[in-house]
Amino acid sequence: MRLTVEVPYGDIDAMGHLNNVAYLRYLEWARSKYWLAMLGAGDDFWQIDFVVARSEIDYRSSAHMGEVLTIDVHVSRMGKSSFDFSYRVTGPDGRLVAEAKTTQVCYDWASRAPKPLSAQRRSQIEHFEDEASRR
């Protein structure tokens, strides 16, 4: 899935570039958009049935206020109860700004416990990934 975000003034640090903590918010926004689009859930955030267990970001170049960044996000691994999102953030000129990966653990909000990645959810992800690759 491909999304764009314009870097606002509030995300700029004292050095004049996009602050490192803002990237985590952008990744959160991208994976939320991905998951809700995959489920056809609109804006029902209770349909997000995972928690983030790990985040890693490699910063490749600076981004600045007003730049429109492109975020490509896809599921790159599925395990028994966890899966990874991989992200690629590029600038308006096509330069690589950041590469990232987050590991999510499937979670049952009612029992407040991890749960397996179901065959149904696995199938939904595979179908969504297949559809996204055709666009």
Per-residue pLDDT tens over the stretch 116-135: 999 999 999 999 999 888 76
What's the average model confidence in pLDDT over 102-115? Answer: 96
Task: Report yes or no on 121 lying in a domain.
Answer: yes
Domain, as residue range, for 95: 2-129
Task: Report yes or no on 46 lying in a domain.
Answer: yes
Per-residue pLDDT tens over the stretch 19-42: 999 999 999 999 999 999 999 877
What H or E segment, with its residue span, contains residue 1? Answer: none
Cα–Cα distance for residue pair 92/76, rounded to 1 Å:
24
Q: What is the pLDDT of residue 51?
A: 96
> What is the secondary structure of 56-68 as a DSSP string?
EEEE-S---TT-E
Task: Report yes or no on 37 lying in a domain.
Answer: yes
Band (pLDDT 50/70/90 cuts) for residue 64 is very high
Among positive and negative, which fits the CA dihedral 35, 78, 115, 130?
positive
Give the CATH number for residue 66: 3.10.129.10
**Which two three-digit tokens encode residue 40?**
């056809």
Q: What is the pLDDT of residue 72?
A: 98
> How many folded domains does the chain comprise?
1
Task: Report yes or no on 134 lying in a domain.
Answer: no
